[in-house]
Structure 1
Amino acid sequence: MEMNMAAPHQTVDLFPDRATYRTGESVLMTVQASPSGLPAPRLTIKRLGRKVLELELAGAPNEPAPRPSTESATVDLGTFAPGGYEVLLTGGTGGTGGGKVLAATAFDVSAGAPESVRYAFMSDFSPCEPAERSRRAVRAGEALARLHATHVQFYDWMYRHHELVPPTAIFEDALGRPVDADAVRERVGICLARGMAPVAYGAVYGAEKEYSEANPLQVLERSDGRKADFIGIISICDISPDSPWSARIVAEFARACRVFGFRGIHMDQYGAPKLALRADGSLLDLADCFAPLVDRTKAELAGEGGDLFVVFNCVNAWPADFLAGSAQDATYIEVWDPWWRYRHLAELARKARLLAPGRPVVLAAYLKCFLDAAESDERRESSARLSLAVICANGATQLLLGEADGVLAEGYYVNHGHRRPSFEPVLRSYMDFIVKYRELLFGAEVRDESLTYAGGVNDEVRIAGVPWSAEYECGAVGVSVARLGSDSIVVNLVNLTGIEDERWTTGKEDPEPVGALFLELIAWADVEEVSCASPDYGIGSLEKVRWDYAPHPQGRCVRIAVPALRWWSLVLVRFKARS
């Protein structure tokens, strides 16, 4: 997150060299300052608010890190255990870590598959001069790495839906858009170098007419006997396990990874048809076919080296229950009407985590306001904050950002919206937040208790001083409650007060600030510590807050004075272990 230093005309930035790390990989941190060096710089690394490392950047004999007296310096922090970490750069005297906080960032480490999939997109593979092509690719890759994207979907990179690998370096895709295969390869390499997995888009049953007309028996039929298609261009093929099409498309997925170096496949479907007729007249329930196709793809990609990422698009959560036991690496839901309210985003995230515990959840929730000329930048940005907050507070991440400044506003990613540069520090603050508090939001031990602890007859969690709702109703503070094992509770608060339009796709006015809010949480053990953090204030660090005990219908509770709420705040209550 970029911050202004005390000295005039001097800015400082801080960011890791990779979007995410595996255990055993050294964390390299870049410190940028201009135009002069930093006063007594120090790096402090925290995990869930507790210091794990402090490093003076003064070039002392036993310290490998150079002092960043030039415009840019790289600091080797060494290796870390799995988890999310906060990094603070301080300088001068006074304040946290012995000086003023000049910049902050985050990084996370995973032993295997990540606890959260932070999904982004790329869609610009247009032909241009090599120097310009590289400039665009590097700019997009650096932007997404600083937003900590773990996976990047390469959208409509391919020649045809039925023939992914192009016959020539420069080609036109099925919609007539010019594409440069070398641009695809270059961006794949940039993603890999920055710790992001490049994932190839591929529709599981789509085929253009040159294939479907030559193989009519592989095309499904509608209830009126006509051939099934999508937008009149793409035929819908038979994905039964015994269909020749299934073998073909899985082989195409593997070939794409082999030829271009992709590290996974994004398996798309269009949400319809759900039922169709095969060439022999039998009725096919497509929900029965998706999981076998996912498993077949996962097994086929195992032969391409390493554990490649496979995810399937459950449009409006259909058929997420059928995919729960499959080999896919994340639960991915593309959200459309009628799931248009904020409470629907919370519901989908919670449902997906219950269906497949321990599996990361991604909601593809497109903000159409970013392509609405009538909307202001301020309303677009408030909408983005709210959707990110609601989704992440309920244990999922949002596919929203891509390219160097893109924001998804519709299902055809090429037609994405753009964000203004002044919004970048806010987005980096939000992305830093979900990285450094990964275990509190997305960890395998996080167990949602929102609708069993809060609201209605539930009184384990109560809020005083403001209307609130565990179902994320507009005009109130949305509340999510999660247990972490037996000794911690996490409460997320998302401010929907003053929000009248429930549609999460549209621009939003800023919510009304909430200044006086008291959270009451039943205390089954003595409290060790209560802390609060928000991506909307300062650097988003966990800070201790005021609390005391109070009577409760079930015994006693801890009564917490929550600092002012703007968009999103997180409260962590740690209890002492019972002897």
Structure 2
Amino acid sequence: MKIFDIYPLKSLYSTNDNLNFQINYDDYTGVKITDIKILRLNEIVISKNIELDFLSGVATLVLPAMSVEGSYGIVIKINEVKVLTAFEIENDWKKRPRYGFLSDFSSKNLNEENYIKTFLKLHINVVQYYDWMYQHNNLIAPTEEFTDLMGRKLNQRVVKDKIKLCQEHGIKNIAYGAIYGASNEFFNNHKDWAFYNTKNEPIRFIDVFTIMNFTKNSEWRNHLIGEYKKAINVMNFDGIHMDTYGYPKVALDYQKNVIRLDEHFNDLINDTKKELQQNCNSSELIFNNVGAWPVETTYKANQSALYIEVWDPMSTYNHLMTLIKQVKSLTKDKELIISAYLKPYYEKGSKNAVNSHKLLSSILFSSGAFHLIMGEDQKTLRTGYYCDYGELNDDQFNEIRKYYDFNTMFSEVLYDRTLTDVSLTHMDGDNLEYVFDNIEVSPTAAPGKVLTIIKENNQRKIIHLINLIDSTSVNWNEFHEDRKPINNIKIRVLTLKEVSNIYVCSPDNGVLPKDVSFKVEKTNRGNLVTLMIDSLLYWDMIVINEK
């Protein structure tokens, strides 16, 4: 079968950008008549035929700029074969922060560009450069080639080249920079800048780093912000990923004063933002709330997005769903990124690891969060040390890619802040607003049931069905078996409004929306809408649009 593929050449398009897509059609050379359709959710907004000129199997499709911001899908057809990708018209990446990672910066990575295809195919628009630097306390290396504190041989030119290429494709570049990590050698020369334990010993991390005092009274803060400014001004980064380790939460300073670290994070973030705004061309900040601590405080700080790295005891899907709902209730002006690393990817080529990935993405995306797990050239995160990544083969990558196409094409629904979650109040028990026949459903994740997340606003009702029937556990960071399809799911929905249309879409079934027929019966409780869903594999989203 011929290789036939399409992907956008920018991670986000502004309303002023022409829309450029790369199309690969095996080794064909010549002109092909191509049928093109662009959809916004379930509405076809552009339909046309166009001639594409292929040279050695590659053509570039250029369409005029679109003036309406939103999430779109594009379908092209050649010789009755269809392929699709998604794209967004959005002037601000912070509204859709699809976070990826890079961690390979050795000399052998010079001129390597496969990673950019991964980012564009997954619509990743912001990238963390993990461990790109010389030392945590001295970010810019004195020479082009250098060895970092973990013993890796790196090349500064590789970092700069990757930044440049990503920026050409509209991707923001965020430099990793721990807020308190310093080499032990640096500590020996600045002992009054460090944090200490009750034995009057400096606090260490993996015996490689000393934890420094970042409060206003410590000179480390000025030093740290100065290093952040160098990262942006010298390397041309767009911002800083302000990393923390989760420990310590309380420490002693050099004078033996007790310091509660969570009382000082916001000052640090805000001071950093102010300094970068005054001295740099860009000032994006992402702060790591390890284990969600202390996001209930840091959400107020001046940063580009909220970011949480989850670990035990947040081990179940329900923990993640609860966390996302709580954090999104704190603020409506910052989106939430969850970094959840999948240790099943330590088993190379594991189908069950991909199953776990699909279920985890389904939970995070349907709950309204973004997920940091993908990066490099089809690599996956399986631990907090990003250089120790997992790898997807082409077939596995294409399965996961459909989830990112789905996330992008339907982001207007998935991240609609006007929707209210009514899962616990409108279904099951005595609640008759949503009734599901012939399947076991639950508003919380439970083995042997279909997780059902229901959201509403004045224009539409959303039903997410996530298949946990074949699961023996709801722990997200373990292997999960293949799903068996569940067929002919009957759903009854009460509404007082007239329904204009219903569609179902799924990353497991071609991504594109499919119209769903329905019947309406007037009852003493309102209009009873009955519909049938043909099949559920991992995740279906049903959208009921009302007049």
Report the equivalent of 1:5.
Answer: none
Report the equivalent of 1:526.
Answer: 498
Distance 1:511 1:282, change over 3 A: same
Report the equivalent of 2:396.
Answer: 423
Distance of 2:453 and 2:31 partners within structure 1: 41
Report the equivalent of 2:544.
Answer: 573
Distance 1:497 1:551, change over 3 A: farther
Secondary structure, aligned partner of 1:573 = strand
Secondary structure, aligned partner of 2:446 = coil
Distance of 1:325 and 1:212 partners within structure 2: 31
Moved more, 245-254 or 111-120: 111-120
Q: CA deviation at 1:164?
A: 0.9
Moved more, 303-312 or 403-412: 303-312
Distance 1:238 1:533, change over 3 A: same
Secondary structure, aligned partner of 1:428 = helix
- Indicate which of 8, 13, 28 corresponds to 2:5: 13
Distance of 1:206 and 1:228 partners within structure 2: 10
- Indicate which of 358, 362, 374 corresponds to 2:337: 362
Report the equivalent of 1:471.
Answer: 444
- Indicate which of 207, 211, 218 corresponds to 1:232: 207
Question: Cα deviation per residue 1:283-327 (whole Å; 9 max; x = unaligned)?
Answer: 111111112211122222223555532111111111111012111
1:148-167 paired onto structure 2 within 5 Å: 148-167=123-142
Letter of the structure 1 residue corresponding to residue 383 of structure 2: E
Question: Cα deviation per residue 1:132-162 (whole Å; 9 max; x = unaligned)?
Answer: 6212xx1112221211101111000011111
Q: CA deviation at 1:505?
A: 1.3
Report the equivalent of 2:217.
Answer: 242
Is 1:133–2:110 an aligned residue pair? Answer: yes
Letter of the structure 2 residue corresponding to residue 534 of structure 1: S
Kept after mapping to 1: 8 A contact 2:340/2:371: yes
Kept after mapping to 1: 8 A contact 2:179/2:243: yes
Is 1:487–2:473 an aligned residue pair? Answer: no
Moved more, 459-468 or 318-327: 459-468
Q: CA deviation at 1:75?
A: 1.8
Is 1:377–2:357 an aligned residue pair? Answer: no
Distance 1:557 1:176, change over 3 A: same
Distance 1:215 1:480, change over 3 A: same
Distance of 1:161 and 1:78 partners within structure 2: 45
Is 1:499–2:483 an aligned residue pair? Answer: no
Kept after mapping to 2: 8 A contact 1:463/1:518: yes
Distance 1:561 1:358, change over 3 A: farther
Kept after mapping to 2: 8 A contact 1:358/1:443: no
1:88-99 paired onto structure 2 within 5 Å: 88-92=75-79
- Indicate which of 262, 275, 286 corresponds to 2:261: 286
- Indicate which of 29, 32, 43 corresponds to 1:50: 43
Question: Cα deviation per residue 1:438-473 (whole Å; 9 max; x = unaligned)?
Answer: 111113434433334345565433322211222222
Unpaired stretches in structure 1, ≥5 consecutive residues: 1-8, 59-65, 93-99
Q: CA deviation at 1:436?
A: 0.7
Moved more, 306-315 or 189-198: 306-315
Distance of 1:49 and 1:421 partners within structure 2: 29
Distance of 2:200 and 2:288 partners within structure 1: 27
Q: CA deviation at 1:222?
A: 1.8
Distance of 1:181 and 1:553 partners within structure 2: 71
Report the equivalent of 1:214.
Answer: 189
Report the equivalent of 2:248.
Answer: 273
Q: Percent identity?
A: 28
Report the equivalent of 1:61.
Answer: none
Is 1:108–2:95 an aligned residue pair? Answer: no
- Indicate which of 304, 311, 328 corresponds to 1:329: 304
Question: Cα deviation per residue 1:63-121 (whole Å; 9 max; x = unaligned)?
Answer: xxx454862221221112211100000234xxxxxxx3421111002132442211111
Report the equivalent of 2:273.
Answer: 298
Report the equivalent of 2:426.
Answer: 453
Letter of the structure 1 residue corresponding to residue 92 of structure 2: G
Moved more, 451-460 or 290-299: 451-460
Letter of the structure 1 residue corresponding to residue 538 of structure 2: W
Question: Cα deviation per residue 1:25-82 (whole Å; 9 max; x = unaligned)?
Answer: 1111222213445763111111011111123113xxxxxxx45486222122111221
Letter of the structure 2 residue corresponding to residue 532 of structure 1: V
Unpaired stretches in structure 2, ≥5 consecutive residues: none
- Indicate which of 526, 530, 545 corresponds to 1:555: 526
Q: CA deviation at 1:413?
A: 0.4
Distance of 1:446 and 1:225 partners within structure 2: 52
Question: Cα deviation per residue 1:195-223 (whole Å; 9 max; x = unaligned)?
Answer: 11111001111111122111111111123
Letter of the structure 2 residue corresponding to residue 86 of structure 1: G
The total of aligned residue pairs comes to: 545
Distance 1:459 1:53, change over 3 A: same
Distance of 1:516 and 1:38 partners within structure 2: 43
Report the equivalent of 2:484.
Answer: 512
- Indicate which of 305, 312, 316 corresponds to 1:341: 316
Kept after mapping to 1: 8 A contact 2:445/2:474: no
- Indicate which of 76, 81, 84 corresponds to 2:62: 76
Distance of 1:19 and 1:466 partners within structure 2: 39
Distance of 2:340 and 2:212 partners within structure 1: 27
Secondary structure, aligned partner of 1:413 = coil
Report the equivalent of 2:15.
Answer: 23
Distance 1:314 1:458, change over 3 A: farther
Kept after mapping to 2: 8 A contact 1:115/1:438: no
Is 1:119–2:99 an aligned residue pair? Answer: yes
Secondary structure, aligned partner of 1:239 = coil
Distance 1:518 1:234, change over 3 A: same
Q: CA deviation at 1:272?
A: 1.1
Distance of 2:425 and 2:246 partners within structure 1: 32
- Indicate which of 372, 376, 384 corresponds to 1:399: 372
Kept after mapping to 2: 8 A contact 1:145/1:196: no
Q: CA deviation at 1:352?
A: 1.9
When the two chains are superposed, the root-mean-square deviation of aligned CA atoms in Å is 1.9
Q: CA deviation at 1:276?
A: 1.0
Secondary structure, aligned partner of 1:30 = strand
Kept after mapping to 2: 8 A contact 1:522/1:552: no
Kept after mapping to 1: 8 A contact 2:232/2:282: no
Q: CA deviation at 1:482?
A: 2.1
Report the equivalent of 2:25.
Answer: 33
Kept after mapping to 2: 8 A contact 1:41/1:67: no
The TM-score with structure 2 as length reference comes to 0.95
Report the equivalent of 2:172.
Answer: 197
